[in-house]
Amino acid sequence: MSWLHIKPLTISIMATATKTSAKTIAKAPKAQPVNSGKTPAAKAVLASAKSAGTASAGKTAAAKAKKSPAAAAAITTEFDSFLIDELKDIYWAEKHLVKALPKMRKAATSSQLAMAFEKHTADTEQHIKLIEQAFELLGKKAQAKKCEAMAGLIAEAQGIIEDTESGTLIRDAGLILAAQKVEHYEIATYGTLRTLASHGGKTEVAALLEQILRNEKETDAALTQVAESFVNEQAAQE
Ligand SMILES: [Fe+2]
Ligand SMILES: [Fe+2]
């Protein structure tokens, strides 16, 4: 399957999949001029686009197949390679978030928010295990690839801690803001990956991703509840 085949699917899920869609589109349109191009330059673009499409998803399925017979059975298309590449991204994100959440818990003023962060630290440990299961189902060893978006969101949370006074509810309002940005990022990512896995016939992987997605949504709702129950109102009076 080529990137051109993937593109219509990607567009269909853009509404809930900003990050992954943007990445995919950034890779896919390189082939667009080729469809109408008749010049040698256009042909060169085609060759380049095919090469880029393969490279962006990591090593080719054939190269992987040489390494492991199990992988040969499991990884059959560039679509699978793309899914695995994106799993590496969110795997990195979760592994770094699980280290950041305890710092957010310690920084929180209210016990309610501290408890929410403590619970989600445990949730996130579980997400890491579920992603590892997804890698296993795809015949791959779990591997992380730096997620620039999550690195930025974690840095933003750290910035809020530095910019607010401890013991204030403004601090909690800021931490909730930072945490909800993280949850929304995760919701977008898991929503997309779940859909991609489902369309690729990876129903067990899709079920794991759906399980994580549900928890991220619950966490987002729990944070809203803490904010609306008292944090926002009291923060505004400080
Ligand atoms: Fe998560
Ligand atoms: Fe989360």
- Name residues whose C-beta falls within 8 Å of residue 151's C-beta, 6 or more positions apart in sequence: 96
151/204 same-domain check: yes
83/51 same-domain check: no
Which of 160-163's residues contact partners 24+ apart within 8 Å by CB, and which partners?
Answer: 161/103, 161/104, 161/107
What pLDDT shows up at residue 17? 42
Per the structure, the count of domains in the chain is: 2
Structural domain that includes position 164: 77-237
Ligand nearest to the CA of 190: 1
What pLDDT shows up at residue 79? 87
Residue 85 in domain: yes
Ligand nearest to the CA of 101: 2
115/173 same-domain check: yes
Residue 64 in domain: no
- Give me ligand 1 centre to Cα 86, in Å: 14
What pLDDT shows up at residue 20? 42
- Give me ligand 2 centre to Cα 183, in Å: 5
Q: Angle 114-103-149 (CA atoms, 0-180°, nearest 5)?
A: 110
Which residues keep their CB under 5 angstroms from ion ligand 1?
124, 127, 186
What pLDDT shows up at residue 76? 65
Domain containing residue 99: CATH number: 1.20.1260.10
- Give me ligand 1 centre to Cα 127, in Å: 5
3-state secondary structure of 180: helix
Nearest to 20 by CA among 192, 234, 149: 192
- Listed in sequence order, the DSSP H helices in the chain are 3-12, 18-27, 32-36, 40-56, 61-67, 69-74, 78-107, 111-137, 148-163, 169-199, 203-226, 232-237
102/196 same-domain check: yes
81/197 same-domain check: yes
Nearest to 154 by CA among 207, 101, 109, 197: 101
Residue 66 in domain: no
52/81 same-domain check: no
Residue 69 in domain: no
17/123 same-domain check: no
47/100 same-domain check: no
- Give me ligand 1 centre to Cα 118, in Å: 13
| Per-residue model confidence as pLDDT tens for the chain (238 residues) | 444 344 444 434 443 444 444 444 334 444 333 333 333 333 433 333 343 333 343 444 444 444 454 444 455 688 889 999 999 999 999 999 999 999 999 999 999 999 999 999 999 999 999 999 999 999 999 999 999 999 999 999 999 999 999 999 999 999 999 999 999 999 999 999 999 999 999 999 999 999 999 999 999 999 999 999 988 888 788 8
184/139 same-domain check: yes
Q: Which two tokens stand for residue 13?
A: 């899920």
33/132 same-domain check: no
- Give me ligand 1 centre to Cα 121, in Å: 9
